[in-house]
Structure 1
Amino acid sequence: MQETLKIKIGSLTFDCRTHGDTENELVIFLHGWPETSYMWKRLMSSLSEKEFYCVAPNLRGYSKEACPLAIEEYSLDKLAKDVLGVFKFFNKPNFHLVGHDWGALIGWKLAHDHQDKILSWTGISVPHPQAFGKAMVMDEEQIKLSRYVKNFQTPNLPEEQIRKDDFKIVRKLWENCTADEIEDYLKVFSNPKQLTATLNYYRSNYKLLKTAAKNRILGDIHVPTLFIWGNKDIAIGSYSVGEHHQYMKNEYEFLELNSGHWLIQTNYQELKKSIMNHVTRNKNSA
């Protein structure tokens, strides 16, 4: 049965969707922009049937009671610490991790820094930050695809553009989502404070990602990893994906789909099969 828990971490309280038996192995799901934990509901239901306990937090800014104002409060370090706090709440020895978009960037950070706690890691759409950050500076295709990230650095104007014509810009991104899903997303994006918070992910980490062209911002990944990418992605070009493979130093599977960025909506059955196989293969008891 799915239920929502409120998990307090320091001064912040996170809304977390859960599904399954708390006695089972933990799987944490991390959403991206512009979505919420709602995107994982279907997959959580399927995985819980395979004896996993599934938890998907609304991340910092997306949870109304975990929405600090300052841009620096949305650094990759702090976003990763939030997830670690959610994990510690359940008092488990380790967990499986799945992340899409910004959830993937946070997941790479966790997979690198806390390999002893992670049984398996699945990144969707966004590759290793070292490769992605390098591409943002050095690859012409990625520079064009990431133009929106540069535009998001401007204060206030992006918020106005997103709200324009009843959220026309993001509604286009949600074209494969259900009406209930969109309704859930709009609860966040129609709140001015939360909308700005979601854009602060880009504002807080833009310079860090771009330094990857010259400096090491994240090292090799030593946990079993599945990476899924659509070769028609509107935000992620092929250069960063090609560069990314070199950082995988454990069991590694790469699934390339003839699809775009919103894979949980457009390629659900393929994702379900691959993720289920990956986490099952890496269970504690396997």
Structure 2
Amino acid sequence: MAVTKLKLNDGAAPTRNAEIIALAREPRKARKYDVAALAGRVAGTVLPPLVTIALILVLWEVLCSSPTSSLPSPTRVLDESWELIVNPFYVGQGVDQGMFWHIFASIQRVAIGFTLAVVAGVALGALVGQSDWAMRGLDPVFQVLRTVPPLAWLPLSLAAFRDGSPSAIFVIFITAIWPIIINTAVGIRNIPTDYINVARVLRLNPLEYFTKIMVPSAAPYIFTGLRIGIGLSWLAIVAAEMLIGGVGIGFFIWDAWNSSLISDIIVALVYVGLVGFLLDRCIAFLGRIVTRGTANA
């Protein structure tokens, strides 16, 4: 308000007043520009996938709307599986559970197996990365074992544990550990020489070197391995649960197939995709925090 009361006493005053008014209005314009820019970025991020999904749904509806179609259309999926969609927390007898409980059981198995894979994978990757002897001795073994399909380990794990849940956890562990080992080893081998020299000058003990030099330097590589590992883990648990039975999203899909509930299978696949995406985003977000943005999202 004080700006508007300035008197225009000479020829230079109007110019000066105009500059002051412009400066006073600048923050408001900046805020408007920031809001507009933010809205533009949000629209640019959200609209393309929404348009793509809408086009897929329209094409799906057109292709599967015929009464003779072997696959249900989106409207038919909603009609046949509406109770499954709106009651995810349903609790019944045995495996008759809502979708939430099946997914929750699968996530629990993935969390245990993936955590064990992270601990063992980072430790083995650090060993292989910093020791030429370990590299020559273990790398050929790792390269052979990582090519074994995850489900090929399931009969062996069932024979060893004699129970479905620990067997599935072992499949998760053996699936996720290889990309973690390989990426950790690559990250350790790419530690800058200056860091190694500094550690020698400071005379860091092995534990200090591991926690202060190796892990921070290799963190972007490690989190790349973690993202690959969590994706493979989610793929493996769905397949493993189809065979071991019990509560879990994999068994739900197989049971729906045996009951000819194709719409329920489609709903379950949507949940599987969304959960897999969220797991990947969580690891990527954690990686950005730990590596201070050096790990790509």
Per the shorter chain, which TM-score range? Answer: under 0.3
* TM score, norm. by length of structure 1: 0.22
- Report the structure, 1 or 2, having the larger helix content: 2
Rg bigger for which structure? 2
